[in-house]
Structure 1
Amino acid sequence: MTLITGAAGGIGSVLARTLAPTHDLILTGRGGQRLDDLCRELKARPLVLDLEHPQSFAEAVQSLSRVTNIIHNAGTVELGAVAEQTHETWTRTLAVNTVAPAELTRVLLPLIRAERGNVVFVNSGAGLTANPGWGSYAASKFALRALADALRAEEAPNGVRVTSVYPSRTATPMQQKVRQQEGGPYDADAYIDAASVAATIAFALHAPRDAVLTDITVRPGPR
């Protein structure tokens, strides 16, 4: 079983469709029609998670008996200068982007170890470089990178592989929101296709067992 967070849209839904032919899927989200429809289409199992409240995860996943792979794809972004952003924004951003992946990994790790599976963190270019106005988001993604690096070293003896994927700007509804916050136009053709990011994640999952793809940076290619 492969669990994908943030599966109802953007990279998550494209990734779910990419993996569906070869993976049994658990698709998580906040619930609603889009998640239900996607699960029905792909014959996947829905799992409602509130990423702002990671303390609820242990109870939410109790019914899961097998998980081989976790793909931490969900995220939130709210742009603003450090001088302007409130602690509520910082707390929500860090909870969704960092604490939620850490806690979900923790509660599912016994199942992942049993399968010698994979943990994939969909990070961001902001997890490598922090630009003005991106402080809270970049901080959450730098922390996500640290989480992945520590987990990789800790779980290697258990046969668990850990990969961080760093896509640059990708043509998704989240990128539309970012461009609105930046006050600029949204041109999907200027960004990476979500299917290309999904294919990269699938490649990491399917790598030969004697290889670990630790960090993958995805940038736009020539057109």
Structure 2
Amino acid sequence: MTDQQTVSSTAPRTALVTGATRGIGRAVAEDLARDHVVFVGGRRSNDVERVRSELEGLGPGTRPFVAELTDDAAVEAAWAPLAHEFPGLNVVVHSAGIAPMARVAETTRDQWREIFEVNVFSVAQLTKLVLPQLRAVGGDVVAINSGSGFTAGPASSLYSGTKFALRAFTDALREEERANGVRVSSVHPGRVATDMQEELHAYQGKEYRAEEWIQPAQIAAAVRVVVDAERTSQVEVITVRPSGMH
């Protein structure tokens, strides 16, 4: 029996979800909580504890993962007790992100630095940190990307730039980790009914109606397809778009 098999047969399934206190991340955490110990990721402990309370009783339990993802020391400190308690990590879902809107003529170097720090560099650093636990059980890395990871429009250079980069990162990581039994997937939602979408509509001066857009639970369902795929396969890319029917 391999170490991977030993760990997976003696420990509960675990899932780390960043950005788990709102929007897509919150929906993913709720879905995975049915059969995983969910590490609820967020920047503020009160938000994380609120979500943990809301998920109580759904499944095997939750743990807090409170850290500013751009602070490597804080991330390592948040991860250390979890890595000590659980020998393997079955899933990491990178859902945290920011989406400032600005035209190229308006952007600053600091804006470029900030969004790449959050949307790309933090994903890379956290993935590197948890790789030993992912490898131990043959886990899944799931990046919540975007339709903006394929195309870019006006005022989207900042956001699309990071999402194109994130797609390159996951494509490379997928090939690097095949031999280690770690699967890597990208989920590319179109417009989802979240506060981020509401802010986008406000920037564009448009009326926002949540019922017209993809619901966060549908993206959680896409993540579930990735996670539940038989080990003889991997779902590399899922794209979800609004149907226009509501």
| CA distance in 2 between partners of 1:139 and 1:127 (Å) | 8
Shift of the alpha carbon at 1:55?
5.3
Match of 2:49 among 17, 36, 40: 36
Q: Does 1:145 align with 2:167?
A: yes
| CA distance in 2 between partners of 1:60 and 1:194 (Å) | 26
Instruction: Please give the per-residue CA displacement for 1:44-76, whole angstroms capped at 9, x wherever unaligned.
Output: 111112123345423331222232210001110
Q: What is residue 128 of structure 1 aligned with on the other side?
A: 150
| CA distance in 1 between partners of 2:173 and 2:239 (Å) | 19
- Conserved? CA contact 2:94–2:142, under 8 Å: yes
Shift of the alpha carbon at 1:77?
0.7
Q: What is residue 23 of structure 1 aligned with on the other side?
A: 36
Name the CA shift for 1:214/1:193 in 2 (closer, same or farther; >3 Å): same
Shift of the alpha carbon at 1:32?
3.8
Structure with greater Cα Rg: 2
2:105 aligned counterpart, secondary structure: coil
- Conserved? CA contact 1:54–1:95, under 8 Å: no
1:121 aligned counterpart, secondary structure: strand
| CA distance in 2 between partners of 1:176 and 1:107 (Å) | 33
| Segment drifting more, 12-21 vs 192-201 | 12-21
Q: What is residue 204 of structure 1 aligned with on the other side?
A: 226
What is the TM-score with the length of structure 1 in the denominator?
0.96
AA partner of residue 150 (structure 1) = A
Q: What is residue 94 of structure 2 aligned with on the other side?
A: 72
Shift of the alpha carbon at 1:140?
0.5
Q: Does 1:101 align with 2:127?
A: no
AA partner of residue 136 (structure 1) = L
Q: What is residue 177 of structure 1 aligned with on the other side?
A: 199
Q: Does 1:2 align with 2:20?
A: no
- Conserved? CA contact 2:45–2:66, under 8 Å: no
* Stretches of 4+ aligned residues off by more than 6 angstroms: none
Shift of the alpha carbon at 1:90?
1.0
Q: What is residue 111 of structure 1 aligned with on the other side?
A: 133
1:26 aligned counterpart, secondary structure: strand
Mind listing any 5+ residue stretches in structure 2 that lack a counterpart? Answer: 1-13, 56-60
Identical amino acids, percent of aligned pairs: 39
- Conserved? CA contact 2:17–2:41, under 8 Å: yes
1:28 aligned counterpart, secondary structure: strand
Instruction: Please give the per-residue CA displacement for 1:109-128, whole angstroms capped at 9, x wherever unaligned.
Output: 01100010000000001010
Shift of the alpha carbon at 1:180?
1.4
| CA distance in 1 between partners of 2:113 and 2:205 (Å) | 25
- Conserved? CA contact 2:187–2:239, under 8 Å: yes
What is the TM-score with the length of structure 2 in the denominator?
0.87
| CA distance in 2 between partners of 1:34 and 1:55 (Å) | 21
| CA distance in 2 between partners of 1:60 and 1:90 (Å) | 27
| CA distance in 2 between partners of 1:57 and 1:36 (Å) | 17
Aligned length: 223
Shift of the alpha carbon at 1:86?
1.1
Name the CA shift for 1:38/1:186 in 2 (closer, same or farther; >3 Å): same
Instruction: Please give the per-residue CA displacement for 1:159-186, whole angstroms capped at 9, x wherever unaligned.
Output: 1000000000000111111111222111
AA partner of residue 28 (structure 2) = L
